Chain A
Amino acid sequence: LAKTTQPISMDSYEGQEVNITCSHNNIATNDYITWYQQFPSQGPRFIIQGYKTKVTNEVASLFIPADRKSSTLSLPRVSLSDTAVYYCLVGDTAFSSNTGKLIFGQGTTLQVKP
């Protein structure tokens, strides 16, 4: 299984850009990179997904270098409401199992301060 490594916690201030980097050295050819956000007492929520280069949506950007061994989630101009846990996931390398199950790590707890 592809394992991800990301910082346990990060602090930021309102209005700043936040970049959270995730390492996934053993990513497989067929794996996508997906980021989820989780607020307290809620289930995780999909933020963004990519395979290579750069992906942008209305919430965030995802930067993936050519070797795909890492990825960076970029949150522009964070607000207090962006305080949450952010999970980096890569697809289950055992695609022969045919499930799409998500393998979560501990995530990065982002604390946005006023």
Chain B
Amino acid sequence: GAGVSQTPSNKVTEKGKYVELRCDPISGHTALYWYRQSLGQGPEFLIYFQGTGAADDSGLPNDRFFAVRPEGSVSTLKIQRTERGDSAVYLCASSLGTTHADTQYFGPGTRLTVL
């Protein structure tokens, strides 16, 4: 079946611009996670959705970052006034959401480059 998909695969933007990154989770998965991965590092948690609500946004670095999941399926990560330090691969993962130990299935990521 279809896995987690993310668009775009690559995004190049200029400092100060606004960007949106999209995640399509596996159908039927109620839990959705966003992570950020810098070069040579492991993924870093940003935000977690259970259904439509953000159950844990403790990983968002500052108020320039925001994410939504209005219908409990597709999610969009929004970054305002991008900075060069935001350059990273943004990963989305989804899981069944029935227990904490449910396997998370990751998408291929969106590589964001801020010039």
B61 at the A interface (CB under 8 A): no
Interface residues on B, range: 20 to 34
A65 to B74: give the CA distance in the assembly, Å: 41
A44 to B45, CA, bound (A): 13
Known: A102-B45, A104-B44. A97 touches B56 (CB 8 A): yes
Distance in angstroms from B87 CB to nearest chain A CB is 16
Segment 82-104 of B: residues with Cβ below 8 Å from A: 91-93, 95, 99-104
With both beta carbons as reference points, the residue of chain B lying nearest to A87 in the complex is identified as: B42
Chain A residue total in the interface (Cβ 8 A): 24
**CB within 8 Å of B: which A55-114 residues:** 87, 91-92, 95, 97-107
Q: Does B25 contact A (CB under 8 A)?
A: no
Q: Contact: B45 with A103, CB < 8 Å?
A: yes
Contacting residue for A106 out of B31, B41, B104, CB 8 A: B41
Closest to B93 in A: A43
A29 at the interface (CB under 8 A from B): no
Q: Which residues of B lie under 8 Å from residue A49 when comparing CB positions? A: 101, 103
Q: Which residues of A contact B59 (CB under 8 A)?
A: 101
Task: Report whether A99 and B56 are in contact in the complex, using a CB–CB cutoff of 8 Å.
Answer: yes
Q: Interface-forming stretch among B14-22, B62-70, B106-114?
A: B106-114
Instruction: Give the A-binding residues of B (Cβ under 8 A).
Output: 4, 31, 33, 35, 40-45, 48, 55-56, 58-59, 91-93, 95, 99-109
